Amino acid sequence: MGYLPLTVFENLEQNTNLTDSELIYKQIGRFQFPEHCAHKKASELSGGEIARLAFAIATVRALDLLVLDEPTNNLDIETIDIILDALNDFKGSLIVISHDTSFLEGLNIKLSYKIDKGFFNKC
């Protein structure tokens, strides 16, 4: 993430279409950042916290497509649950590459494809 010198709040403010401080704090809270972390530098965050910040930014922006390659690697269960909630509220399309079947089952997927032994099958 190229915005490590900025705080969690500043990252959301500068990288989203949110202009209301209350909405920014709401998004910070949605991703389970304690109140004192809002003004913590991103460079001081753990790997899981940086992942949550990235998802907080990505899921609030007006995106049509989000591509995720093994999004749950090295994340704790609480962080994965937070990300699942955000992705299930996401209005765009997702391309998810993952071996984490419980994560995939937790997504509200309407149409999916599986590549198995070189064959591309609709599920």
**Per-residue pLDDT tens over the stretch 56-82:** 988 887 778 888 999 999 889 998 998
Residue 30: inside a domain, yes or no?
yes
In a domain, 27, yes or no: yes
Quick one: what percent of the chain has pLDDT higher than 70? 97
pLDDT of res. 1: 45
Please name the residue ranges forming H helices in 1-123. Answer: 8-15, 21-30, 47-60, 77-89, 101-106
- Domain membership of residue 15 (yes or no) is yes
Q: Note if the pTM is more than 0.85.
A: no
With respect to residue 3, please indicate whether it lies within any of the assigned structural domains: no
Does residue 36 sit in helix, strand or coil?
Answer: helix
Question: Which domain covers residue 112, as residue numbers?
Answer: 8-122
Please indicate whether residue 30 or residue 116 has the higher confidence score (pLDDT): 30
* Residue 1 resides in a domain: no
- Residue 99 token pair: 């071996």
User: What per-residue confidence (pLDDT) applies to 4?
Assistant: 72
Residue 24 half-sphere exposure toward CB, CA atoms < 13 A: 18
pLDDT band at 95 (very low <50, low <70, confident <90, very high): confident
CA angle 8, 13, 17 (to 5 degrees): 135
The per-residue pLDDT of the chain, averaged, comes to 86
> pLDDT at position 2, please?
54
Query: How does pLDDT run across 42-57, given as a tens digit for each residue?
Result: 999 988 898 899 889 8
Residue 33 lies in a domain: yes
- The answer to the question of residue 19 being in a domain is yes
How many domains does the structure of the chain reveal? 1
Q: 47: domain CATH number?
A: 3.40.50.300
2: in domain: no
